[in-house]
Amino acid sequence: MADVVDPATRSRMMSGIRGKDTRPEMLIRRGLHARGFRYRLHCKDLPGKPDLCFPKHRAVIFVHGCFWHGHECHLFKWPQTRPEFWREKIGRNREVDQRATGLLEANGWRVAIVWECALKGREEIGLDVVSGRLSEWLMSNVARLDMRGQG
């Protein structure tokens, strides 16, 4: 199936997609800040440059978009145009995610992943629930947390 917009328009649309400071990330940042947590952003000195770092708790949070990280939920659908490109791209993103979380855990960091579907769409669990679970996780000694929508 051919793209419904011309290449220049598609290029402009794709270049507008943010890699950091996304809406889900900003929601989580505000929610945790309101609960008294202070953090560093996009820590370049850690594998995978986590979205939020909590050195005091030796914990990091990644906020993943369901499309870009290939989450098998209702928000993710394989593109019909250039399928081989997208399978490689999303496959590489998944590999980078696994490598980064593995290195972080090997170095004693606790890792939480919050999927976009936890905050958006028909299966969302809501910001209050997400912020509450993240707060509890940060105060615990649990090594890993994976938050996704209800589905």
Q: Considering the entire predicted model, what is its pTM?
A: 0.87
Instruction: Report the sign of the C-alpha dihedral through residues 97, 47, 120, 1, in that order.
Output: negative
Percentage, residues of the chain above pLDDT 90:
70
Structural domains in the chain plus CATH codes: 18-147 (3.40.960.10)
DSSP letter (8 states) at residue 107 = T
Three-state DSSP state, 146: strand
Give the pLDDT score at 6. 82
Per-residue pLDDT tens for 1-36?
566 778 788 677 666 666 677 889 999 999 999 999
pLDDT at 17: 66
Backbone angles phi, psi at 35, to 5 degrees: -90, 5
